[in-house]
A and B are shown apart, each in its own frame.
Chain A
Amino acid sequence: MRRPSWLVLLGLLGLLGLSGLSACSITPVQPWEKGLLAKKAMGFEADRLEAGFAEHIYTSKEAAAGGAGVGASGCGCN
């Protein structure tokens, strides 16, 4: 079995570290304080079609690909 890459380990450590850090040192934000966070511009994938175009275009021009989601189907562009 292949050993996991250092980047996988770093990512897992980062996720655990962020989780632990936020649990210890971040003051919880109350629901009534989230008005600005609820704005569309503050979303990570506010425009699904635009994100899809970007992913497709960069996959066809560069060797690195992938973002926050799992790709469900491929294309013959790379």
Chain B
Amino acid sequence: MAATESLGGRILAAALCLPGLAEPAHADGAPDQGLIAFKYLDYLDYQPGRERVRIRAPSLHLLLPLSSRWALGATAIHDAISGASPAFHTRAISQLQDERHAADLTLTRFFDDASLGLTAAYSNEADYRSRGLALSGSWSTEDRNRSWSAGLGLSKDVINPVTRLVVDEKKRVLDWTLGLTQVLNPRQVLQLTLGHNRARGYLNDPYKVSHERPRARHATRLLLRFNQHLEDGGQTLRWSLRHYQDSYGVRAQTAGLEFVQPLPWSFSLTPSLRLHNQRRAAFYVEVDPEAAPFATQPPEDWLQFSLDQRLSSFGARTLGLKLAWQPTPDWTADVKLEHYAQRGDWYLGSGSTGLAPFAARSWQVGLSRSF
């Protein structure tokens, strides 16, 4: 990008890089700087008296401008998964151990007012392999104040649980999105995204008992995000609201709030709050206290049923705190702590009962450099 050789050109280029700075494909011109980023996640979830799943995940992201019209992005992640998971509701907890390797590669072509990106992705575990392709594009108005985006993704998965309950089961997911990002004024930007996916095939968790999910699932989500730069202290507020519903009968509302507070010496502190409210799937079987310690039996006339805690009615909240340091324009280091808690009686309505309180904590550290 020849215009970025001068200081004025750089400021203008930065201003034109809106909206949506790092999403997969944008009609904003190819990035004029490369980026290499490393992040390490340590995650643990638990219920009273019992640790459940622990994940340690180093990950790497590379963004490489190839020319003024082309850019290449790549991400690789390794998950080391250990711990234990319940076979039904929050009981019958059995050990698990697995490793997951995943990578994706995105090639993006930039046009004057548009961009087109193609992503290939691969993920492999001992019992699960997933391959996917996604095409994403965007188009901006000439003044760069409005940008339309669209995406289409297809993944094909193969499931081979170590228990050999099923062999070579397949799952296909087709996913599309349509979005609009609008600059409202010099301090506010709004984004609305509609997404829909259709999954077919083996949608069960093979390690759960009394678990028979439908073999098709259609899900729709509507996501509204709003970023606002505050006038006085230079803080940024980031709001998000999502409504989700699917053919299982799940309805969920998720709200997020992040507050970026600049600090002296190039530090910034970002507290965050996420609230989630989820109505259970139509075939979720509530806990029968009299059945304990055995699994609750689903009604005899139900063809689909599940005792999976994730399909129950609950409310959840996440509290987070992120400290970032950018000592030079090219280097960034950050550390983030989060705590998550999920309860049936936090659901706005009549939540699921009989489940043990569930919680998780995580920390992550990251380092990135532009070049």
Contacts and interface: CB of A to CB of B under 8 A. Distances in A.
Contact of B145 (A14, A28, A63, A67): A28
Contacts of B157: 74
A37 B222 contact: no
A73 B175 CA distance: 11
B102 A69 contact: no
B123 A69 contact: no
Given A46-B22, A72-B121, A75-B123, A36 B187 contact: yes
B39 A68 contact: no
Contacts of B178: 11-12, 15
A1 interface: no
A42 interface: yes
B34 to A, nearest CB: 14
B180 A72 contact: no
A71 to B, nearest CB: 6
Interface bracket on A: 35 or more
A39 B227 CA distance: 11
Given A7-B220, A66-B244, A75 B130 contact: yes
Interface in A18-34: 18-19, 22, 26-34
B301 to A, nearest CB: 23
Interface bracket on B: 35 or more
B268 A41 contact: yes
Interface of B: 11-12, 14-24, 37, 39, 41, 43, 45, 53, 57, 59, 61, 75, 77, 98, 100, 102, 104, 119-123, 125, 127-128, 130-134, 136, 143-146, 151-153, 155, 157, 159, 171, 173, 175-187, 189-197, 205, 218-223, 225, 227, 229, 236, 238, 242-246, 248, 250, 252, 254, 260, 268, 276, 278, 281, 310-311, 316, 334, 336, 340, 342, 358, 360, 362, 364, 366
Closest 6 CB pairs of A and B: A76-B128, A11-B194, A70-B153, A43-B21, A34-B15, A72-B121
16 contacts: A5-B245, A11-B220, A31-B16, A32-B12, A35-B186, A44-B227, A50-B39, A61-B358, A63-B250, A65-B219, A69-B24, A70-B176, A73-B104, A73-B155, A74-B171, A76-B127
